[in-house]
Amino acid sequence: MAEIAGHTIPNRSPLLAFLERWFLTTNHKEIGSLYLWLSFVLFFIAGAMAMVIRLELGQPGMQFTDPLFYNQMVTMHGLIMVFGVVMPGFVGLANWQIPIMIGAPDMALPRLNNFSFWILPFAFTLLISSLFMEGGAPNFGWTFYAPLSTTYGPPSTDFFILGVHLMGVSSVLGAINIIVTIFNLRVEGMTLMKMPLFVWTWLITAFLLVMVMPVLAGAVTMMLTDRHFGTSFFSAAGGGDPLLFQHVFWFFGHPEVYILILPGFGIASQIIPTFARKKLFGYHSMVYATASIAILSFVVWGHHMFSVGMPLAAELFFMYATMLIAVPTGVKVFNWVATMWRGSMTFETPMLFALGFVILFTIGGFSGLMLALVPADFQYHDTFFVVAHFHYVLYPGAIFGIMSAVYYWLPKWCGNMYDERLGKIHFWTAVIAVNMTFFPMHFVGLAGMPRRIVDYSIAFADFNMVSSIGAALLGVTQVLFLYIVIKAIRGGEKATSQVWEGAEGLEWTIPSPAPLHTFETPPQFPAPEEAYKHE
Amino acid sequence: MSENRNKQAKHLILLSSLAFGMLGFSFALVPLYEIFCEVTGITGKTSSIVAVEPAAVMQESEREVTIQFLAQVARGMPWEFRPTEHQLRVRVGEVNLTSYYARNHSAQGVTGQAVPSVSPVNVSRYLHKIECFCFTEQYLGAGEDQQMAVRFYIDEELPEEINTLTLSYSLFNVPGLESSSLAFASHQP
């Protein structure tokens, strides 16, 4: 490895050169790849935990796990999927794409970028190591309600707390970097209202991150001092209030769920116009809708805790505020559909995933509306209906969003087209398996099957068996995805610089694969027609 | 370029202060929540301030309501704790006296603290306690027992539709004062 992308590197041992390249890199593309690979690895780890959960729930009774281990699996699956898969996945995409979409040579703060990534492997080592400790891993659910996590948490809870602190630092630094990049490094002529929507949604997401990750850090710090330093933030015995934990947590938690989906909205808004060969319908309303979703997300946290005994006035407020979010979300869905209207559509894999995203995310949105209704929520609360709801918005929402982005931009990243036939097989098995896994959960939830419990009434046996078979299929499908990605990296049909016939934007004017350094001289914006056609 | 650098530095500082500000805000939520609950009375938390004796001219109305007394003991607290009367029929405005009985069954002294709560939650402000053992630490030596008095009256402003109130005390042991209580607090399975 004496020469990397045109740089001559003095003779070193290959190992040293490798370490130097990946540990010390400040290049946004390399850091983006690191984020995406970390996310991919953790996707399989947390996915394996989901397999354990579904294996256990395939039949009533306890076959493979005990309640304690089952609870650890549920907790770790949730924590890793949220903080280790979806968030780093989106940050990886942001790192790769934002500079080349706004015509910047790199992120504004490249060394900070390196730091924010390299915190993460340590954070997740801390978190995952708790599985091997005496007393087991955290077992109180990803929401870590007090006093389960304070008075009754296992000793490894402290590793979890430190892990969350590290993830928080990483996310906040990453978000600050993204905001500074977007505000300062846009190419001349690209005003805010001319930015690609992926950049817009990420800008708003980054603000959410900067504002709520510190609140999460505050919550876990209070937990830590409650556990070890004699404070009573969440302990009624000392004058505190366990309910306060839920308020603080969901003040973070609700904006967090939009952090997990807004970049996905941006991805769909890039992909659908490309394959419909039309301009995005309602660009301005898309931006305003995203911003209003983000603002509203700060005043709806109470809908996660309707059943704690809130006064009626608060329940009404949170109910109406929550239902209000359906309006901007509806605007977005309408705009996506209107973009496709009379477009000349083709259905390559990224488009298929984007369409799956729009349809299935909308189903998840509807069950969210059902959950927003106070009287109905009293029945749905803590049942599998909730599990069905958030898996519909997170799997075919966030994860399909990331997958469609990977298929869409992978030819730009590695210079080769992925195998279209395998991609289509991946999509169709995934979409069937997702519905098989999560749709029956609506029914068992409405019938009263509680979440987070290892065993269940035999009345729910059949639907659970269907879910488990679907989950196994879904798991296998993702191995196919890994194969497709590796196959494309290793070779395949060469991609043109524009890659997709209808693609527009600065990222499609650079060669495929994207050279390590791009836009050292600022490009022309908007890109002239011939800029897409070189090679 | 240097102008750009300055702008970047400015943004960096602004955004970092926003992050630190939000960290501060998360801690500010603790007193804010406390104040919010105190003002609205929504958690059923009763005021920790002992009410004054009602003015002598306070007229007793004919209206009667039922007040029920409950007691809960936190897990691991080795005390017996119960109201001496489970239910009283009282006249609104009238000062009444009742008591709770506590006995320490363990072989060592334990300090406990009772946290009161009133249901329905929005009537907590109409129950005035002139004398009570709420929010103060009680020490009982091994095998000791004690009657703990509660003197209270119900405000005449009590809404018409309320016929029954419940006063509940949850008894916790105060961690850190006795070794047994520490063991309770941190070594649950």
Q: Which amino acid is at B181?
A: S
The answer to whether residue B134 scores a pLDDT higher than 80 is no
pLDDT band (50, 70, 90) for residue B121: confident
What local confidence, expressed as pLDDT, does residue B41 receive? 65
Mean pLDDT value across residues A270-293: 96
- 8 A C-beta contact, residue B123 and residue B165: yes
Annotated catalytic residue within A21, A277, A424, A451: A451
CB contact under 8 A, A152 and B188: yes
A142 is annotated as an active-site residue: yes
Backbone angles phi, psi at B99, to 5 degrees: -155, 165
The answer to whether residue A512 scores a pLDDT higher than 50 is yes
Q: Which amino acid is at A130?
A: S
Secondary structure (DSSP) of A140-175? STTTT-TTTTTTS--TTHHHHHHHHHHHHHHHHHHH
CB contact under 8 A, B12 and A247: no
CB contact under 8 A, A183 and B20: no
What local confidence, expressed as pLDDT, does residue A439 receive? 97
Q: What pLDDT, in 10s, does the model give residues B16-68?
A: 999 999 999 999 999 998 888 777 666 666 655 556 665 554 566 778 899 99
Q: Which residues of chain A have a CB within 8 Å of the CB of B175?
A: 230, 237-238
A534 is annotated as an active-site residue: no
Backbone angles phi, psi at B78, to 5 degrees: -85, 35
| Cβ-nearest to B113 among A237, A241, A314 | A237
Give the three-class secondary structure for B45: strand
Q: Which amino acid is at A210?
A: V
Residue B81, beta-bridge partner list: B102
Residue scoring higher pLDDT (B188 or A96): A96
> What are the distances in angstroms from CA A70 to CA A56, A66, A144, A450?
8, 6, 15, 14
Q: Which residues of chain B have a CB within 8 Å of the CB of A151?
A: 185-186, 188
What local confidence, expressed as pLDDT, does residue B51 receive? 60
pLDDT-wise least confident of A94-98, A280-284, A375-379, B45-49:
B45-49
In chain A, the number of structural domains is 1
A106 is annotated as an active-site residue: yes
Annotated catalytic residue within A28, A54, A77, A227: A77
Residue B168, beta-bridge partner list: B70, B117
Rg (CA), chain A: 23
CB contact under 8 A, B122 and A311: yes
Q: Which residues of chain B have a CB within 8 Å of the CB of A231?
A: none
CB contact under 8 A, B8 and A108: yes
CATH number, domain of A206, equals 1.20.210.10
Residue B42 burial class via C-beta count within 10 angstroms: exposed 0-12, middle 13-18, buried 19 and up = middle
What local confidence, expressed as pLDDT, does residue A404 receive? 97
Q: In what order do the strands lie in the sheet with B137-140?
A: B87-91, B64-73, B164-173, B110-119, B137-140
Torsion angle of C-alpha atoms A229, A159, A94, A273, degrees rounded to 10: -100
pLDDT-wise least confident of A151-160, A263-272, B140-149:
B140-149
Cα(A474)–Cα(A353) distance, rounded to whole angstroms? Answer: 15
Left if phi > 0, otherwise alpha if psi is -120 to 50, otherwise beta: which for B143?
left
Structure pTM? Answer: 0.88
Chain position carrying tokens 């078979």: A469
Annotated catalytic residue within A30, A158, A226, A256: A256
Cα(A167)–Cα(A220) distance, rounded to whole angstroms? Answer: 12
**Other CB atoms within 10 A of residue A136 CB:** 18
Residue scoring higher pLDDT (B131 or A487): A487
| Cβ-nearest to A219 among B11, B26, B175 | B26
Cα(B148)–Cα(B81) distance, rounded to whole angstroms? Answer: 10
Q: What pLDDT, in 10s, does the model give residues A236-281?
A: 777 788 899 999 999 999 999 999 999 999 999 999 999 999 999 9
CA angle (A199 as vertex; A194, A205 as ends), nearest 5:
130
CB contact under 8 A, B29 and A244: yes
Q: How far is A315 from chain B (nearest CA, A)?
A: 12
| Cβ-nearest to A214 among B26, B174, B188 | B26
Q: What letter would DSSP give residue A134?
A: T
Cα(B61)–Cα(A131) distance, rounded to whole angstroms? Answer: 64
CB contact under 8 A, B113 and A172: no
- Those residues of chain A whose CB sits closer than 8 Å to some CB in chain B are 108-109, 151-152, 172, 176, 179-180, 183-184, 210-215, 217-219, 222, 227, 230, 233, 236-239, 241, 243-244, 247-248, 251-252, 309-311, 314
Cα(A176)–Cα(A320) distance, rounded to whole angstroms? Answer: 32
Q: Which residues of chain B have a CB within 8 Å of the CB of A108?
A: 8
Q: Which of A152, A171, A224, A259 to mutate to test the interface with B (most CBs of B within 10 A)?
A: A152
pLDDT band (50, 70, 90) for residue A5: low
Annotated catalytic residue within A250, A258, A301, A508: A258
Q: Which residues of chain B have a CB within 8 Å of the CB of A245?
A: none
Q: Which domain holds residue A451?
A: 3-532
- 8 A C-beta contact, residue A467 and residue A57: yes
What local confidence, expressed as pLDDT, does residue B184 receive? 40
What local confidence, expressed as pLDDT, does residue B182 receive? 39
pLDDT band (50, 70, 90) for residue A412: very high
A320 is annotated as an active-site residue: no
Domains of chain B, by residue range, sit at: 1-40, 64-186
Cα(A40)–Cα(A171) distance, rounded to whole angstroms? Answer: 17
% chain B with pLDDT above 90: 14
Can you state the angle between helices A349-372 and A384-393, rounded to 10 degrees? Answer: 140
Cα(A430)–Cα(A473) distance, rounded to whole angstroms? Answer: 8
| Cβ-nearest to A215 among B11, B22, B185 | B22
What local confidence, expressed as pLDDT, does residue A91 receive? 97
What local confidence, expressed as pLDDT, does residue B189 receive? 37
> If you measure CA to CA, which chain A residue comes closest to B4?
A184
- A340 Cβ contact partners less than 8 Å away, ≥ 6 residues apart: A272, A276, A278
> What pairing do the DSSP bridges indicate for beta strands B79-83 and B96-104?
antiparallel
pLDDT band (50, 70, 90) for residue A153: very high
Cα(A270)–Cα(A273) distance, rounded to whole angstroms? Answer: 6
Q: What pLDDT, in 10s, does the model give residues A457-480?
A: 999 999 999 999 999 999 999 999
Cα(B90)–Cα(A150) distance, rounded to whole angstroms? Answer: 41
A277 is annotated as an active-site residue: no
A254 is annotated as an active-site residue: yes
CB contact under 8 A, A184 and B4: yes
- 8 A C-beta contact, residue A412 and residue A499: yes
User: How many A×B Cβ pairs under 8 Å?
Assistant: 96
Chain position carrying tokens 């709806």: A300
| Cβ-nearest to A179 among B11, B37, B122 | B11
What local confidence, expressed as pLDDT, does residue A7 receive? 63
- A447 Cβ contact partners less than 8 Å away, ≥ 6 residues apart: A459, A460
- 8 A C-beta contact, residue A360 and residue A397: yes
> If you measure CA to CA, which chain A residue comes closest to B183?
A151
Rounded mean pLDDT of chain B?
A: 79
The answer to whether residue B114 scores a pLDDT higher than 90 is no
Sign (positive or negative) of CA dihedral A26, A494, A40, A329: positive
Mean pLDDT value across residues A495-504: 92
> What pairing do the DSSP bridges indicate for beta strands A3-4 and B137-140?
unpaired
pLDDT band (50, 70, 90) for residue B179: very low
Give the three-class secondary structure for A229: coil
pLDDT band (50, 70, 90) for residue B177: very low
Annotated catalytic residue within A30, A56, A106, A315: A106
**Other CB atoms within 10 A of residue A531 CB:** 17
The answer to whether residue A112 scores a pLDDT higher than 60 is yes
Chain center to CA of A10? 40
Q: How far is A180 from chain B (nearest CA, A)?
A: 6
Rounded mean pLDDT of chain A?
A: 93
**What size, in residues, is chain B?**
189
pLDDT band (50, 70, 90) for residue B175: low
CB contact under 8 A, A214 and B20: yes
Cα(B10)–Cα(B16) distance, rounded to whole angstroms? Answer: 10
What local confidence, expressed as pLDDT, does residue B185 receive? 40
Q: What pLDDT, in 10s, does the model give residues A7-50?
A: 666 667 888 888 888 999 999 999 999 999 999 999 999 999 99
What local confidence, expressed as pLDDT, does residue B60 receive? 60
Torsion angle of C-alpha atoms A19, A87, A76, A359, degrees rounded to 10: -130
* Run of H or E residues at B146: strand B145-154
Closest residue by Cα to residue A183 from A170, A168, A202: A202
Strands (E), A303-443: none
Residue scoring higher pLDDT (B154 or A270): A270
Q: Which two tokens stand for residue A276?
A: 């419909």
What is the SS3 assignment for A389-425? HHHHHHHHHHHHHHHHHHHHHHHHHHCECCCHHHHHH
CB contact under 8 A, A311 and B113: no
Q: In what order do the strands lie in the sheet with B145-154?
A: B79-83, B96-104, B145-154, B127-131
> If you measure CA to CA, which chain A residue comes closest to B33?
A244
Q: What letter would DSSP give residue B124?
A: G
The answer to whether residue A321 scores a pLDDT higher than 90 is yes
% chain A with pLDDT above 90: 88
Q: Which of B3, B16, B30, B117 to mutate to test the interface with A (most CBs of A within 10 A)?
A: B30
A171 is annotated as an active-site residue: yes
> At the top level of CATH, which class does the domain B64-186 belong to?
mainly beta
The answer to whether residue A515 scores a pLDDT higher than 50 is yes
- Its ipTM equals 0.86
pLDDT band (50, 70, 90) for residue A302: very high
Chain position carrying tokens 């966030």: A398
| Cβ-nearest to A176 among B16, B33, B37 | B16
